[in-house]
Structure 1
Amino acid sequence: MHTTEIHVAAIELIDSAGHVGLGFAQSLFNVLPDEREIERIFLEQAWPALDGQEPAALALAVRRSRGGNVRRMSLPFEEAIQQAVWDLFAQQQGLPLWRMLGAERSSVPVYASGLDFHLSDHAFVELFGNAAEAGYRGFKIKVGHPDLDRDVHRLNLLRKAVGQDRPVMVDPNEAWTVGQAIDALQTFERAGHRIYWVEDPVTRDDVAGLKLIRQTGITRVNAGEYLDLSGKRRLLEQQACDMLNVHAQIGDVMRAGWLASEHNIEVTLGNSFLEIGVNMALALPGVRWLEYSFQNFDHLVEETFPIRDGMIFGSDAPGHGLRLSRTAQEDCRRLSEAVAA
């Protein structure tokens, strides 16, 4: 499945002192409703649990979900609410979020991830060649084409574009069976390509398959991207991954990081909206990488996280470091009004 658009809603929570906590709700394949309907659903389904609550209590609470209490909202507000609540919590403490989470470093290596499966060979080479010149510390490409020779061809092109001195990762997005995964990885190895990790080689819940691939020792297995915390725990308990992949639900990421640390497993920070995950990447000592995918969202905020020499840096401002661009907000409102007219 391929899309050229993503639908985004920004949520701002404001405390009594005027601090503004920002979060982003994303919908990749479904169009979000208009602003009034988004607001109605938020007020009906999300706001009752937030109204009058302290951000610290919301961020740190441990709740026991039971039966019918476990319901997803009609729109994807859950991650946005976590982002906004933790943003407020850190602002109230006067600290950058990554420092409040206990980080002892201010930067972490970032790898270039192309989301490149649909690109022509020329565009593919240009993308990764530019990333290499910009200093990115590693490169991840999409594989899993029905023709395995095409995957080998792209790996050949990648090495010509970026050289031999930085790691290469591959991501088939669950396209393979266990046998296909092992065959592909062995084929890549015979073609001279040392793969730093394979990400989600088989379906997310195939713990036995992931464990079998890991046991071959051909490469590291990076998994868990699409699993909730319970699923991530099963992966760790069954020793089915070398790296646990997490994203941007801040409280959940920190819990997953603590769990991975108990199993002595590395954590990798996958795509997070506008790289907000840099806060958790800096705070979790098991994280050595953050993913960067060249998505066109920078105009939505006043300032992005700086990337220099292949390292991404946390913001020194209190909170998670992102502030909604008023220009983008006004442009969006004018467009909505024009469509409505």
Structure 2
Amino acid sequence: MSISQFRITRFQFARDRVIGDSQVRIDDTNVAALELVSESGEVGLGFIQSLFYPLPDQAEIETVFETEVWPMIKGQKAIGLVHRVNRPRGGNQRAFSLPFHEALQVALWDLAAKEAGLPLHQLLGSRRDRVRAYASGLDFHLSDEAFRALFSYAASIGYTAFKIKVGHPDFQRDLRRLELLRESVPAGSLVMIDPNEAWNSKEALVKLTAIRDAGHDLLWVEDPILRHDFEGLRTLRHAVNWTQINSGEYLDMPGKRILLENHGTDLLNVHGQVTDVMRIGWLAAEMGIPVSLGNTFLEVGIHMAAALPEVEWLEYSFQNYDHLVETPIEIRDGYAYAPNRPGHGLVLSEDARREWARPVRLPTSKLGPAPKNDRLPIPQDLF
């Protein structure tokens, strides 16, 4: 059935803890639900995200979407849009005015899978329905006490792999955090670190050597240096033969292709743009490069992770989004499970629409307390 209408619901609420890395700090959640409705009444759901600044008022989001996106999809079938290739040229080569790209891909794929009567991961060609999940703290700005509490809790519920943020100007602080992690999780746990491009290539080599000499084994280091320093990444790959380089997070699809062609990473990091992820994932498979799924909104990335042959890991960061949907993605005993419901399995909660919709932008001081996060039952005053 053809797409006949759209709905946008704007949300704005406080996070239950500050998240961030060596470069950024984020205190609030600013998202809008995009629902594409077909003539049959099926609904495809995606989320428009703005990490650092509040989205404009809902009326403005709707106007921009109706102007820039709606003419391209109105009256079309979702299954006929998800693989469509455009040839951008000149002034046509530009992003949408608001961050619709990922939300649109997710909503279209959700709708296409529902119309086909299949879970999204099966429509994408999966042979499994679960992928190992690692606990990621987004912890750079947490106190040592909060850091310990978060990772101790993650270990207590079955996680065996953990990623922490490093890249502090005081390298001794990075080493101390690694020691705190070792004290907080079982012996033999897998450890990843993420400097978020805080280092240059020579600096990365020196610091990774110091980390190894301090007795810390690393499964990978993520985005150690600038994303476009393909020569530096390739050199670092060969120099640090005791760990792996995980990169590509900040690159668009053409950038990821160039990264692979330049042999600049051991693992390719992707996120939530379903069509883009599948295309670059197929290329990575041809080249024998493993893929890791970074944070995706409400863990929708489990579907791509289950479908791509080179994926071993999906990132989970205990963010307080679950109240937005009726049934979140199941994560237990260190595994994320792809829903067997048609589509991606996430349905916007009508309770959330009533209680948390914020059609008009609010100042941070007016947001009130954060929604409860049942997956991270740690006292809020700790954060």
Q: CA RMSD in A?
A: 1.4
| CA separation of 1:177 and 1:326: change in aligned 2, threshold 3 A | same
RCO higher in structure (CA 8 A, sep ≥6): 2
1:256-335 equivalence runs, <5 A: 256-333=280-357
Q: Is the contact between residue 109 and residue 137 of structure 1 (CA under 8 Å) also seen in structure 2?
A: no
Tell me how many residue pairs correspond in the alignment. Answer: 339
Tell me which protein shows more helix as a share of its residues: 1
Q: Is contact 2:57-2:360 (8 Å) kept?
A: no
- Aligned equivalent of 1:57, options 66, 75, 80: 80
Q: Is the 8 A contact 2:56 2:360 kept in 1?
A: no
- Correspondence for 2:44: 21
| Structure 1 SS opposite 2:76 | coil
Contact 2:190 2:218 in 1 (8 A): yes
Match of 2:275 in 1: 251
Deviation for aligned residue 1:17: 0.6
State the 1:260 CA deviation: 0.3
Among the aligned pairs, what percent are the same residue?
54
Question: Pick from 168, 173, 183: which aligns with 1:160?
Answer: 183
Matching residue of 1:30: 53
Q: Does 1:145 align with 2:145?
A: no
Matched, 1:192 2:215: yes
Question: Aligned match of 1:42 in 55, 60, 65?
Answer: 65
Asked whether 1:212 is paired with 2:197, we answer no
1:138-194 CA distances to partner (integer Å, 9 max, x unpaired)? Answer: 100000011111111100110110022121000000000111111110011010001
Once the two structures are TM-superposed, the CA of residue 338 in structure 1 deviates from its matched residue by 11
Counterpart residue identity of residue 57, structure 2: D
Deviation at residue 62 of structure 1 after TM alignment: 2.1
Equivalent residue for 1:228? 252
Contact 2:58 2:360 in 1 (8 A): no
Q: CA separation in 2, counterparts of 1:336 and 1:41? A: 15
What stretches of structure 2 of length at least 5 have no aligned partner? 1-23, 363-383
Range with greater deviation from structure 2 (248-257 or 63-72): 63-72
Match of 2:17 in 1: none
CA distance in 2, matches of 1:30, 1:147: 29
Tell me which amino acid in the other structure corresponds to 1:149: Q
Deviation at 1:55, TM superposition (A): 0.5
Q: Does the 8 Å CA contact 1:223/1:244 hold for their aligned counterparts?
A: yes
SS at match of 1:258: helix
- Corresponding residue number in structure 2 for 1:102: 125
Partner AA of 1:88 in structure 2 = L
Match of 1:118 among 141, 166, 186: 141
Higher strand share: 2
Residue 57 of structure 1, CA deviation: 1.1
1:131 to partner: Cα distance: 0.3
Shift of 1:197: 0.2
Q: Look up the equivalent residue of 1:259 and give its one-letter code.
A: L
Once residues 28 and 100 of structure 1 are traced to their aligned partners in structure 2, the CA distance between those partners, rounded to angstroms, is 30
CA contact (8 A) 2:231 2:264 kept: yes
**What is the distance in 1 between the residues matched to 2:161 and 2:192?**
8
TM-score under structure 2 normalisation? 0.87
Q: Which residue identity lines up with residue 195 of structure 1 in the other structure?
A: L
C-alpha contact (below 8 Å) 1:186/1:218 kept by paired residues: no
Residue identity opposite 1:315 in structure 2: P
